[in-house]
Structure 1
């Protein structure tokens, strides 16, 4: 997974797909006219924009956030916006190479998808606007003292943090007699550490023993996950990018062992979990795109823009719940697909 950076050949296809989705979605002449008007206005003043997108790794959640971001910019600016989408293949050092390249190229704005991408972008420039997305806690990610919800400087964005106390409640709601929960996460992801620390506190306050199981990268995920499954009644996985890219490993261990996995987001849940309190990463990306539009049009100062969030939804994985014989509590929606 740690490969040299290459430009994603999907960038052009994603931008075209965004335009196609706009035409298809709703199919109304009003939406088409609105898009045409926005594109015409952008063309009239001759303003064009180049957006650099650094995505940490390819998986469903991050892909959806990138697509939502691109869709909003394309709807607003049409052909007057160009995306340079690059994937770091899960390597933080490659994020630095990508973002430094964006700075050299003089892009108008950088969208950093996931915490290592945000960290790399912040280190690369203090002048080009940077919007993060799929980042859990900006204070932790950027090492900020007295973080109050606004980063300041040239950085803002959106957070994918679901209420961690409610996630702990979710586990107990599904498994009222649970005694031991293993918290599985990648130690290289600061936001994952933050989430498991918080969930551990909430679970222990409920009388549940919660034990952390950290793996360093995908190479030792299998052995650590096996140990966690052997020693616990259930597992919890936060919004962890390494697990998200390797859900098959977790599912291949936990489902045969009849150990339910609760997750911090829908993409991981669809691959290996039974239930989640999840946001829509597509909607999160759209919110990030709306922030970008305001910045590019001079309607907002990024230094004063607070980090934004989106709503969470209770969801469950029907196939895994059926295999484990679990009864779904009221109020949960089935994950589609």
Structure 2
């Protein structure tokens, strides 16, 4: 485990709660809460939360919204949010989270892996809650993972069971022989998923190859190669891919190569099906964790990382029709824009 995580103070969450007494309830860049204040906020305390979202796309947007909704339902206008988007740049995540620390925010919500890594580097005392993070051990280089980060970090994971995702590929494409895994090599959690999905897919009899892009500039060319060499493509919960679904679709659909993904946002843009979680619900779940820390004094150092309660088989009816793919019973249609 990284030194900075081990060194984090167990009392970080309590200190943040005390510091909240002096927080401002107004912020020009903030989004303030729902109508009315709950009885828990009647003591006059206010809370300012910094939200660092790695990039704008449907899944992360939904998680941020769920997080805000959970807290505003609990605290009304006693909570404000400074929501910042890093436009996919990890260096910008560092700038954003360092500013949250300088501003004395009461809690930082880090939406996606790069945001979590930046926040962890920025502070070992302000409580940090991650969401839309696939594997905390990989993100924070923890070798002895027990389900709890320790120190000032906890949150929620967006990982749907990878073995079940591999089974979904087999259910939909039993006659395929090759699967290409398409992802961004700069995202540690995508690397983690690719490695484990390779194992599961090979156990099911597929020949598996990875096709990686370093950033958005390489997406189209790498997708072209992957489509030429694969019967099916699998895309994990990859933020770069999620922000480039149009570019991927522009290659994969003419090539008639079906895509299975780790979350429904990617499927809505370029895929056939996914075993997906609800990112709004995941963000809401993270918001409830924040409430426990800020208001009820929960000890974040002992707070286990939580996973989504449910996973659902989803499919894109428009792309399935275009590719002539019949989806079996038990899948829920994704509503897509015409």
Question: Could you tell me the TM-score, scaled by structure 1's length?
Answer: 0.89
Cα separation, partners in 2 of 1:49 and 1:141, compared to 1, 3 Å: same
Q: 1:169 maps to what in 2?
A: 167
> Hey, what's the Cα distance between the residues in 2 that align with 1:140 and 1:37?
39
> Hey, what's the Cα distance between the residues in 2 that align with 1:110 and 1:223?
37
- How many Å apart are 1:206 and its aligned residue? 1.2
SS of the residue aligned with 1:254?
helix
Q: 1:108 maps to what in 2?
A: 106
- How many Å apart are 1:299 and its aligned residue? 3.8
Structure 2 portions without partners, runs of 5+: 1-26
Residue number among 255, 258, 273 corresponding to 1:275 in the alignment: 273
- How many Å apart are 1:15 and its aligned residue? 4.2
Residue number among 74, 77, 82 corresponding to 1:79 in the alignment: 77
> Hey, what's the Cα distance between the residues in 2 that align with 1:11 and 1:249?
32
Q: Deviations over 1:140-167 (max 9, x none)?
A: 0000011011100000000000010111
Q: 1:5 maps to what in 2?
A: none
- How many Å apart are 1:36 and its aligned residue? 4.0
Q: Deviations over 1:110-130 (max 9, x none)?
A: 000000000000000000000
SS of the residue aligned with 2:143?
coil
- How many Å apart are 1:46 and its aligned residue? 1.2
> Hey, what's the Cα distance between the residues in 1 that align with 2:201 and 2:86?
35
> Hey, what's the Cα distance between the residues in 1 that align with 2:29 and 2:257?
39
1:321-332 mapped onto 2 (5 Å cutoff):
321-332=320-331
SS of the residue aligned with 2:217?
coil
SS of the residue aligned with 1:52?
strand
Structure 1 portions without partners, runs of 5+: 1-8, 20-34
1:274-293 mapped onto 2 (5 Å cutoff):
274-293=272-291
SS of the residue aligned with 2:108?
strand
Q: 1:89 maps to what in 2?
A: 87
- The alignment's C-alpha RMSD in Å is 1.4
| Equivalent pair of 2:165/2:262 in contact (CA under 8 Å) | yes
1:232-311 mapped onto 2 (5 Å cutoff):
232-310=230-308, 311=310
SS of the residue aligned with 1:202?
helix
> Hey, what's the Cα distance between the residues in 2 that align with 1:191 and 1:95?
17
- How many Å apart are 1:329 and its aligned residue? 1.3
> Hey, what's the Cα distance between the residues in 2 that align with 1:250 and 1:10?
37
Q: 1:208 maps to what in 2?
A: 206
Residue number among 46, 49, 54 corresponding to 1:48 in the alignment: 46
Cα separation, partners in 2 of 1:97 and 1:334, compared to 1, 3 Å: same
Q: 1:222 maps to what in 2?
A: 220
Question: Could you tell me the TM-score, scaled by structure 2's length?
Answer: 0.89
Q: 2:15 maps to what in 1?
A: none
Q: Deviations over 1:24-57 (max 9, x none)?
A: xxxxxxxxxxx7461x541x31100000000000
Query: What is the count of residue pairs matched by the alignment?
Result: 309
1:123-134 mapped onto 2 (5 Å cutoff):
123-134=121-132
Q: 1:58 maps to what in 2?
A: 56
| Equivalent pair of 1:15/1:71 in contact (CA under 8 Å) | no
Q: 1:144 maps to what in 2?
A: 142
| Equivalent pair of 1:49/1:82 in contact (CA under 8 Å) | yes
- How many Å apart are 1:336 and its aligned residue? 2.0
Q: Deviations over 1:272-295 (max 9, x none)?
A: 000000000000000000000000
Cα separation, partners in 2 of 1:329 and 1:77, compared to 1, 3 Å: same
- How many Å apart are 1:324 and its aligned residue? 0.5
SS of the residue aligned with 1:255?
helix
Cα separation, partners in 2 of 1:296 and 1:77, compared to 1, 3 Å: same
- How many Å apart are 1:10 and its aligned residue? 11
Q: Deviations over 1:154-202 (max 9, x none)?
A: 0000000001011111111101111001000000000000001111001
